[in-house]
Amino acid sequence: MHVRFPFDIIRDELEKLVKKYPLDSIHIPEATEYLINELNCKMNSNELNHLLIWSTCTLSMSLRYLNKPFISNLNVQQYAIRTLRKFSPEAIVFYLPQIVQCLRHDYNHLLKRFIISIVKNSVMFTHQLIWTLRTEIVESNHLTLEELQEIKLQEFELSDILKPFYIDVIKAFDSNQIRLYKEEFHFFDKITKISGLLVPVEKDKRQERLIEYMKDIKPSFNLYTPTNTQFSITGMDYLASKTLKSAKKVPILIPFYVKQRPLGFDIGEDVNMNQNNMNGNMNNMNGNMNGNNMNNTTQNNQNNIKLPCIFKAGDDCRHDQLALQIISMFQRVYERIELPLYLFPYRVITTGRGLGIIECVPNSKSRHQIGDSINAGDNLYNYFIRKYGNVHTVEFQRARMNFIHSMAAYSIVSFILSIKDRHNGNIMLDEDGHVIHIDFGFIFDILPGGKFGIEQVVPFKLTTEMLALMGEEQAIEESRKKDPSQLPGNSSSSSSRGNNGGMSSVSGMSSSITNNTIASTSNNITSTSGGGKSKVSIKDTNLDSKSNPSNVNVNSELDSDTNEHSEPYNLFVDLMIRGYLAARDHMDSIIAISEVMVQSGLPCFAKEDSIERLKQRLCAGKSEREAILFIKQKIKASYQNVFSVIYDVYQEKVEGVNR
């Protein structure tokens, strides 16, 4: 109730009821937030004794209770650990960055004992844990004075706690785990180290040196890819290894040959049954390395998938890891409630301090790379026409719909997490037309240029070429002025589009998709293709995990300007509003895992009010109507925002990134 009607008087009444009748609420996990508060924990209130029999809460909320100020109470700590025990190692590993941060408050060692109990039973969990521990441990002897000065006090404090715990984890290994640990970590440490070794090498000699280094590395049959434990490594195409462009570092891209691991087996359990086959495959791989062009979906004649990964040394990948963790949470929410919003949360694994392995986005190119392959001054609208066909073709319409679904999703994420540095090198397009954002080094409170950063007044990127692809006539006209020969600008083509910007034939498609995948029969959705009007009025407003995806109140009176825009753009706005409201219904989880990371020393949490700013972007404490008005204002503020253009121009002039 308080989520839907976030008024203090309602919260106060709910808190009184839970405290007065706790036994009537023990089956409601969400009610714990009215019982577990700072005052009750500080006073060791008897009310907290009821937590011993209370229904377990969500995994993300249990992490909140393992953090200050709640962790000081033993009942709360036991309740949180009991919640963690309910989940599988595969579920818990998702929250390892937060769990490791909570170890700094583990005064009773309950969390340490719980982790060790999983270590003894899951190799996959243990390896991911060790990589996380190594990321947070500060090895002072290996750092320069300048690097030490950049490390915050809280990082040293956590490091001192983790060093003995790291030893305890290793001691819990049996002989088989020790062998698997040494093979996996030695192999990937050698590859990651190459990224650092190439930094002092002259740029024109780095590629040649990389191949020389890779020739000396041979995988064994026990290895699996850290970014995706479903695959075991059968070989490498080292001749296709590449050095990637970076300002100061030298990331390297290494293609592996992998095959699907048997389902239901932990790391190492399937080794004996596959050892002979994998050895045979490795001999074939190593004997047939030909340096062909890499493609994530390309398979060789042994039916092994080629899977490239990026290795980085000297870069802190924890920002990317946190952003993608939250993006993955968004994806799960949208899938659960069947909202057609597309996100691709690729995996980033931090394997040590300043070390990381990054999963490649398959079948995609950055907007910068697309700019290299098309005419100067060209745009996405023209690119889609050439790639998918005329604007009236089914292929073009499908690709544009994919573009809208992904644009809406990433616009929501970019705004809520305040993701910056959105130049065209960090925005990908896949073969189906989806937008995919990468490189999340600037989130929350940091941005390129610091407090003078150009992007700080841009909620999210929504440029002219993006709008042109959504059928916005004004944006198309601006694109036509740049390159009139490439756009369907003759009178017949122009008149057929009307206000829909080439969407006369796709209007029915968008209405169908809206009705089938967003709205149920209880909703009232009307669309007028002639005027480009899209009106949505839906009854229920709750979007929790049990609700229907159509239960979103996008009030039609808030859409008074829909007749000024194309139908695909109005669909984009509708999806953004629905997705934003869905995110708000899960804001407690988003805020909880972010709060735990505040103490990590990450630069993105440099300001004391980081979480308060996050709550403001989520409209915490506001009504749903206020939230809809708020996000619509942010959409309008982003619409052809001049500072997005200025930043793209800057990146083009200074860094050579196409715009």
Q: Where in the chain is the domain with CATH 1.10.1070.11?
A: 336-655
- The kind and range of the H/E element at 41 are helix 38-43
CATH 1.10.1070.11 fits 336-655, yes or no: yes
Residue that wins the pLDDT comparison between 266 and 463: 463
Amino acid at residue number 586:
H
Q: How confident is the model at residue 7 (pLDDT cuts 50, 70, 90)?
A: low
pLDDT of residue 530 exceeding 80, the answer is no
Is residue 238 packed enough to be buried (19+ CB in 10 Å), middle (13-18) or exposed (0-12)? Answer: buried
471 Cβ partners below 8 Å, 6+ apart?
Answer: 497, 500, 501, 502, 503, 532, 566, 567, 568, 569
DSSP 8-state class, residue 410:
H
What's the pLDDT at 562? 64
Check residue 141 and give its pLDDT.
74
Report the chain's mean pLDDT, rounded to a whole number: 81
The ranges of the chain annotated as CATH 1.25.40.70 are 8-171
Task: Name the more confident of 397 and 454.
Answer: 397
Residues 6+ apart with CB under 8 A from 246: none
Q: Which residue has the higher pLDDT, 235 or 378?
A: 235
Mean pLDDT, rounded, for 411-418: 97
CA–CA distance, 568 with 547 (Å, rounded to integer):
26
Flag whether pLDDT at 79 surpasses 70. yes
Nearest to 426 by CA among 444, 412, 409, 414: 414
Which runs of E-coded beta strand occur in 111-227?
224-225
pLDDT in tens, 109-122: 999 999 999 999 89
The interaxial angle of helices 394-416 and 567-585, nearest 10 deg, is: 40
Q: How many other CB atoms are found less than 10 A from the CB of residue 110? A: 18
pLDDT digit string (tens) for 478-496?
Answer: 655 655 444 443 333 333 3
Predicted pLDDT of residue 72: 87
Q: Sorting pLDDT into bands at 50, 70 and 90, what band is 498?
A: very low
**CATH pick for 8-171 out of 3.30.1360.200, 3.40.50.720, 1.25.40.70, 2.40.50.180:** 1.25.40.70
Average pLDDT over residues 626-653: 93
Please state, in angstroms and rounded to a whole number, the distance separating the CA atoms of residues 382 and 487. 7
Could you read off the pLDDT of 577-594 as tens digits, one per residue?
Answer: 999 999 999 999 999 999
pLDDT at 204 over 50: yes
Angle CA 273–277–280, to nearest 5: 150
In this structure, what token pair is assigned to residue 255? 């293609």
pTM above 0.85, yes or no: no
Residue 469 backbone zone (phi > 0: left; psi -120 to 50: alpha; other: beta): alpha
* Residue 293 buriedness (CB in 10 A; 0-12 / 13-18 / 19+): exposed
> Does the pLDDT value for residue 451 go beyond 70?
no
Q: In a 3-state reduction of DSSP, which class is residue 319?
A: helix
